Amino acid sequence: MIREKAFAELFPDKNVSSLTKIEIKEATTCADGKTPRDAVARALLQWFKGPQFFRWLNKPDSCVACGANKASLELDGIEGPMSQEEITGLASRVEVYRCKQCNSKRTRFPRYNNPVTMLLSSRRGRCGEFANCFTLVCRAIGFEARYILDLTDHVWTEIWSGEQHRWLHADPCEKKLDRPLMYAKGWGKKLIAVFAFDRCQVSDVTRRYLAPGSVAAFSERRIVHLG
């Protein structure tokens, strides 16, 4: 509840009602005049990524020493969190970049995991930051949401649909709702394990993300990688 309150205090206008009015263009309304919740979820995905809120950032925009743009930066190594900001932001690791212009190694890219202390203010990152913050935003406007971890290096969110009585895949990086096969079929991923983290438990949800007819191959991969 603390995280949801933090979002509401920072963005008091971003509630379900305002999102419905501003973001949903094509959604139909129910007999009672309310917009279907699944349509709100779809609109939320469209709103979340972009200049209006959260920005994709693969590496720092510029060198902190000389100001050279990101094209001059190359990954030099990975460290643990060192500054108080990195620790408070629950940075799992910090990528250190070397500048090819000035040879400085001072440009750091902390991979924050705390949506309250850092992500709501920085509003940038890769899929990990996206999923962390998007899950928070979903919960803040009343959705039940959980964090999804794919061990082949991707993360996203699932939102509970009260209308369909099931969990819906929601990828804020790709702005896709209910497209669980996009990784196995579209990206060609060889999935090993996909876990869902909700408020109370962790669940293995791998099978819903497997392409039809791929269960046997998946089982073999899982034995090899996980034993």
Rounded Cα distance between 194 and 13, Å, is: 34
Q: Which of 133, 138, 171, 173 is catalytic?
A: 171
Please confirm, yes or no, whether 204 is among the known catalytic residues: no
Main-chain dihedrals φ then ψ at residue 177, nearest 5 degrees: -120, 135
Does 127 participate in catalysis according to the annotation?
yes
**Interstrand relation of 73-79 and 55-56 (parallel, antiparallel or unpaired):** unpaired
- Catalytic site residue from 63, 154, 169, 173: 154
**What are the start-end ranges of the H helices in 24-102?**
37-48, 84-88
Cα Dmax for the chain: 64
Residue 81 near residue 87 (C-beta atoms within 8 A): yes
Among residues 38, 76, 102, 127, the one annotated as catalytic is 127
- Active-site residue 169, yes or no? no
213-220: long-range pairs with CB below 8 Å, 24+: 214/184, 217/190, 218/191, 218/192
Q: Which residues contact 116 (CB under 8 A, 6 or more apart)?
A: 2, 3, 6, 136
Q: Is 48 exposed, middle or buried (0-12, 13-18, 19+ CB in 10 A)?
A: buried
Active site residues: 127, 154, 171
